[in-house]
Structure 1
Amino acid sequence: MSFPWAKQYEPKQPLMRWLDEKLPVPRLVYNAVGAGYPVPRNLNYFWNFGVLAGAALGIQIITGIVLAMHYAANGGVAFGSVESIMRDVNAGWFLRYAHANGASMFLLVVYIHIARGLYYGSYKAPREMVWLLGVVIFLLMMATAFMGYVLPWGQMSFWGAQVITGFFSAIPLVGESIRIWLLGGYAPDNAALNRFFSLHYLLPFVTAGVIILHIWALHIPGSNNPTGVDVKGKQDTVPFHPYYTAKDAVGLGVFLLIFATLIFFSPNLLGHPDNYIEANPLSTPAHIVPEWYFLPFYAILKSFTADFILPAKLWGVLAMFGSILLLFFLPWLDTSPVRSSNYRPKYRGFLIVLLVDVLLLGYVGGAEANARNVILGQLASAYYFLHFLVILPLVSSSERPRALPNSITEAVLTKHGGTSPAQTALAN
């Protein structure tokens, strides 16, 4: 989107003028994250999480590159090389814990970022491409995180790879061939470890490239805002710098404080103790579970226990992947012209129920597979798909939203006790 009132970049120094003429990187940065990029004046702290996700990715790439200098992707020595990093490499324990916990922090930030998009309708026109690229980033992150979890070559690493890749064998006719192709053999071993390591190293850079496209797509229509009302003019915006760079700095400080607390005081809180036991193909752990950020999808996978036309295993695989791919169609499943849930009370209620449902799926995914938990997982899985495929289209076509403000400025002034332009006109 073109903002005629945006401040234009005018280099003052001769060197900067010369650089702007030959390679306009300063202009690009100024227009992307500086005073040349106007943003809605009413953004709250939920809009910090995009920047926090970028910071988390940067931490993962930097720590991952250094760890790769010391890691050996060989089934015979991989576990020992990780232990050597912890004990013998200068600050190796810090790098390893920062990388392992950084993955959890990265996924946590992204989950909150997605929840904000769902609540404020950031997937609606004209920002469909921003949302679609975001889902692509989410899929890349999940693939990267899974392959990274295999690399320590502990018990959970080995058996997690065995179980997850085993689901591909449920695909009729070609499933077993795909599984063998992925692993490079009939079971996780050196070939699988090398493949996962190379892809785990590569995919973060692919993710960074898609993030650049994501930001580019965002700058075309401009940022959404808590009211969901389009920008009407200069009075509705403020420059990104210094207003939101300062706000993002506060959010980043809080993020780093929580991250540091996790690393220094409870680095193994989110890990599994069995992963400190070297991988043993002859000893199956009593309870195989993935990392916490995969648990809701793992619960959906486990919810199919009986064959019906297709094998239960195949139904579980289709449902697990379908639960993520469903997000691609969200801009067209929600047909309401109102974006923000602040003005859609009925939709907001169902969104809260969805949040509780996802948390329940997370609990079931990590719990023992007894009869009660299986039923809970089946009910929660059914509601997840019901929300997107049935409830959302019905609510968006039938609800009567509350009246929207005429502009962002009016909403801000009314919220803070000021007088909106409409109220001033009526008073006169």
Structure 2
Amino acid sequence: MSRARSRAGAPVVTGDEGRREPRGGRKRVAGEKPAGEKPAGEKPAGEKPAGDGEAARGGEAPGAAKAAGATPHDGLFQFTFGKVEHAAPALKAVLPGALAAQIDFSTLRLERGHFVDPKLEERRSDLLFSATMGGRRGLIYLLFEHQSYVDPRMLLRILEYMTRIWRAYLEQHPEVKRLPVVLPVVLHHSKSGWRAARRFEELLDVNGALEEAAGELLLRFGVVLDDISHVEDEELSRRALSALGKVVLHLFRHARSPEELLGRLQGWAVALRAVVAAPEGGAAMMAVMEYLRSVTGQDRTEVVMAVREAVGRTEADRVLYASEYLKEEGREEGLEKGREEGREEGRLEGERRMLRRLLERRFGELPVQAVERVDEAPLDALESMAERLLTASTLEEVLEGKGEARRSRAAGKKRQVGAGRKVKPRAARKG
């Protein structure tokens, strides 16, 4: 559990209630303690007090290809907006201007803790941030809703999540007199769009006279709602977001039409090229492409070809080969084959199959000689062919290399010239 204080410059506590375990683990339900955890206030022997550096600054990627989320949506959400360079502009874009002006986004920090009910993980995901706001440390709770319907009592659930955050804070700081501010922000996408209450008091069964008479006795609060269900692509593109943030919102916006998703990539080409050019472009593109593969049901080859068309073959392959994305399908097929004939032979077959498919995509139906050349090639030759595929303009250049291809064409021309030349008979020598 991360430590916190309620004064400016100090980290803010977040709880273990519902916190997600590291990759491969499970989430604990609210209030469940990890095995071996000491009672509240008792530190394990040798444990140092937590400081400013304990909270995850910017967040750790849950994994490049597949984040540790319950769904592809959750994984890409955590991977992207779990990093402050993507979260800060996204939050600034949706918060009311006067409120955003009170927040020092340079102090934004990802805090440990997840507060969504485990049984609801497939439909929503959350992130908790802390930042200096109004001269003191406060919290921003970002909830991502990706479900086919809208929960009419969503504001009640958000109240429960906020209460968990405050209780976790008080567990660590029972001496404090005031609670930190928690600003709830909801990123929502559904087929119909948000149709539930936007303020908590809308859930209460009161008439106007009773509401007026009760006054401050009634609980009142709202949420910052970013409903992208029907937002046009042009509007999303105009937002002052990071390139990856724009791409991810576009993907979420159209994820309910997976059959159209790959075809829409060209419309987001500017943002995709910026993602590729970024320092961590390889990891980001792997996350995006794994999301595309999971949502559309297409294999890696189809996804790679769609990205190449949108970004450009050279740019796409440079980052994809650097991140070994294109080799992944060969490895998977190789491992499957390896169970029957040995891992090395299985991987080799997977590499050959992957290269054949890429060649067919590039040059059309392959001649028999080309297929035989690939099927007989050892692993190092296949890797060389795959590298030449990035820049070669002909099938010959891929299979033989530029020098060999030129010599082969030159030799062929000589044979053709020789075959067409008439040879004059020598004159018989006089005796």
TM-score, scaled to structure 1 = 0.21
Q: Which has the higher contact order (CA 8 A, sep 6+)?
A: 1
Structure with more of its chain in helix, by fraction: 1
Structure with more of its chain in strand, by fraction: 2
Larger Rg: 2
